Amino acid sequence: MTSSPGTIAQALHGSSVDMVTLQRRYGAQFAMVRKVLGVAPNAAAYLEIWPIGMRTYNVLVPNFLNLPFLLFGFGPPKATVGLAMYTASRAAGCAYCASHCCAFALRRGADEGDLVRIVGRGPASGGYSSAERSALDVAEGLGRVPGSLTPAQRDALRDSFSPADAEWLVLAVAVMGFLNKFNDTVGIPLEESMLALADEVIGPTGWTAGKHLPIPAATVTPTKPQPDRFVDLLGLLPVLPSVIRADKHWTSGVPHSWPAVGIHLRQRTGHDFPILAHLSHGRAIRALAAVLGANTDPKQSRLGLRAKHLAGLVYANAVEDEALAKSARNLAEYAGATTSQLAGSRAGLDVHTDTALAYAEAASSSPAQITPEVVAAATKELAPPEIIELTVWISVMQLLHRLHAFYE
């Protein structure tokens, strides 16, 4: 007797998009991510099941990480950025992202010892500068659910870095909120090279692939990433024009500063997302606003906006983020939710919406509690694009939650 799928990735494998098709559609983006990470992530095959999901990834990641400028040394120390991304991923319990951030940090010049010492480090742990420690403390505090960031940790980051660099660090941790939630919830299988590297470098710290183990798993000899070399980074230049053109297309017409971006979003979604008022980096503001607009476009939604925003409210309540819950209530009301539904009642909801809310409940914790029973219930009532759309939205909500936790 064949057992039921244990992860969303296993259940949706037949709907995932093959790498040849992905390469044809996103060749320039894949070329960049291979330079940055060393592999084309398996997550892309699942994000593209609902194409706005893949667009969300392609818009958020380079703009929140300030690529390619970060690679050439602009902004905070890039090794520190990598260590912060890794710290947030371990705190969130996402083994997939932890392995990727291990590779990312090593490529940005971090030492293996820096990665190993992060887990279980205490106030007296050595090996980090005071500035690095402030970044890691913020990343860990924002990565946990419920969050544990303190005002003192927030102040320490601001005292250790310029306002612009502190914001880039927060944005890097925030975008990992999106990636942590999506990859952990879906149970994306690891690329074999990433598995081999993580087993060797961070396996001794207690890291295991768990549900992200490739099937079938193969034995691969790990290749240690080398720190960025200027001559290698020059290889990005041929693909940058295509990457820039795509980004301009996806973000066309979106303002890059407050209050114009809030007005733009209110006209399209019924809500202005005031968290954007706290940000100063224009490319990140525009990217997030473009993603919010695309993810709340009724013409793009397969799930339906009422169900989607009520699911977002489930997440916001689960992580005890009242500012995020207010945003979710505004969006859900704009999409037609009733007063009782906004208050948490499920009376009168159809099976489709009720299933979406149950899935959101299971996905809200970090790590997500997506059991085989949750997988079976979700795949029975929701089509693959609906599941991916819902997971992407909860992941966007987690990105917003991390921004709220730092700025509000």
Q: Is 126 a residue whose pLDDT tops 90?
A: no
Give tens-digit pLDDT for 205-232: 999 999 999 966 556 677 788 899 998 8
Give the total residue count for the chain: 408
In this structure, of 52-61, 234-243, 274-283, 355-364, the range with the lowest mean pLDDT score is: 234-243
5-14, 116-125, 131-140, 252-261: least confidently modelled range:
116-125
Sign of CA dihedral 237, 44, 287, 155: negative
Nearest to 354 by CA among 307, 319, 395: 307
Gap between the terminal Cα atoms of the chain: 52
- Tally Cβ neighbours within 10 Å of residue 320: 12
Number of Cβ within a 10 Å radius of residue 90: 24
Give the tens place of pLDDT for each residue, 151-176: 999 999 999 999 999 999 999 999 99
**Residue range 120-133: mean pLDDT, rounded:** 75
Can you tell me the mean pLDDT for 271-292? 98
Which DSSP string corresponds to 236-299? GTTTHHHHHHHHHHHTTT--SSTTHHHHHHHHHHS---GGGGG---HHHHHHHHHHHHHHT-TT
Please answer whether residues 356 and 303 qualify as being in contact, where contact means their C-beta atoms are separated by less than 8 angstroms: yes
pLDDT at 21: 97
Q: What percent of the chain has pLDDT over 70?
A: 96
| Average pLDDT for 288-298 | 98
The amino acid at residue 29 is Q
* Average pLDDT for 62-67: 98
Q: What pLDDT is attached to residue 275? A: 98
Q: What is the pLDDT of residue 219?
A: 60
* Alpha-carbon separation of residue 312 from 45, 132, 305, 342 (angstroms): 24, 33, 10, 11
Task: Identify the band that residue 125 occupies on the pLDDT scale cut at 50, 70 and 90.
Answer: low
Average pLDDT, the chain: 95
By the 10 Å C-beta count (0-12 exposed, 13-18 middle, 19+ buried), 105 is classed as: buried
- Amino acid 1: pLDDT: 40
What pLDDT does residue 222 have?
A: 73
Residue 255: which of 292, 283, 294 has the closest Cα? 283
The CA-atom distances, in angstroms, between 234 and each of 35, 63, 68, 279 are 10, 19, 10, 30
Across the chain, how many H-helices and E-strands are there? Answer: 21, 0
206 phi-psi bin (left φ>0, alpha ψ -120 to 50, beta other): left
What sign has the CA pseudo-torsion 353, 354, 359, 361? Answer: positive
The predicted model gives 292-307 an average pLDDT of 97
pLDDT at 124 over 50: no
| Region 272-284 average pLDDT | 98
Give mean pLDDT, residues 195-210.
96
What CA–CA distances, in Å, run from 273 to 61, 262, 288, 329?
Answer: 20, 6, 10, 12
Indicate the SS3 state at residue 406. Answer: helix
Binning pLDDT at 50, 70 and 90, where does residue 54 land? very high
pTM here is 0.96
Q: Which of 67, 44, 68, 65 is nearest to 56 (CA)?
A: 44
Statement: residue 198 has pLDDT above 90: yes
Which amino acid type is present at position 93? G
Q: What per-residue string of b and e applies to 26-48 under the rule 16 or more CB within 10 Å gives b?
A: bebbbbbbebbbbbbbbbbbbbb
- What's the pLDDT band for 347 if we cut at 50, 70, 90? confident
Question: How many angstroms separate the CA atoms of 183 and 317, rounded?
Answer: 21
Residue 379, SS3 per DSSP: helix
